[in-house]
Every structure is written in structure tokens, then in C-alpha cells.
Amino acid sequence: MEQIYGDSRKRELIRSWLRGTRSKNVLIRQLDFDCDPLVVEFFPEVYRIEVVEGEASVPASLEVRGTHLAIICYSSDFLGCIGAWLRREIQIKSPWSRLRDCYYVARLLLA
């Protein structure tokens, strides 16, 4: 996240994504073992990362589910991410209803 916010082009991309809203949340859940979900909240100039304890409901702009390996190793590489998505190691909840959010998250996180 420090690299994303340290890059002026990516910060401009965040501002474009947030246009008309205060912030956007991305909820990340792991599929292969039980753990609390992670929420990354994007603001124009800063971000916040928080672990949500239990099954608390968090309104998210986008929910990403993935295996530990896919989230750690494949999520920052375009071809690796596509391969993990095709193998269903990375899943996006309701991607078609949130296509704009999917586009911006991919542009921000994939190198």
C-alpha cells in the first residue's frame, strides 16, 4: 500500500475511482482456512487497513475471496492473477455489478 500511495499516478487513479465518494472499501477473505476478513479502505491521500473480527457485516465496494497463496503470490501479477481466477483460487463476489470497482482495484494492485 505504501508503494501505491507513493506513486503519484496511482494516487490520481485512486482520486478518479473515489470521485463523488469519501472512500471505497475492499473486503478480502481467505478461502483455505478460517480467519477474520481484512478490509482495506481507500481515501484520496491515505488508506486504512483493518481486520474485522468475527462475521461482522462490512459494506464493501468489492469483495475478493482467495486462497492464501493466491492472495499473497498471484494478486500483484497480472498473468498470475488471471490464472488464479481461472482456477477459482481468486474469486470476486458479484464482479459484474461492480465492474468499475473491479477495474480500479485491478489497476491499483496489479503492477
Of residues 74 and 54, more confidence is placed in 74
Q: Retrieve residue 11's grid coordinates.
A: 494516487
| Residue 89 scores a pLDDT above 80 | yes
Report the C-alpha gap between 70 and 31 in whole angstroms.
10
| Residue 40 scores a pLDDT above 90 | yes
Q: Region 65-77: what's the mean pLDDT? A: 85
Structural domain boundaries of the chain? 2-109
- At 95 the pLDDT is 67
Q: Which residues pair with 25 in a beta bridge?
A: 41
Q: What is the pTM of this model?
A: 0.83
In CATH terms, the fold of domain 2-109 is Nonspecific Lipid-transfer Protein; Chain A (3.30.1050)
Residue-wise pLDDT for 12-36, tens only, equals 999 999 999 999 999 998 988 888 8
Helix (H) or strand (E) holding 14: helix 8-18
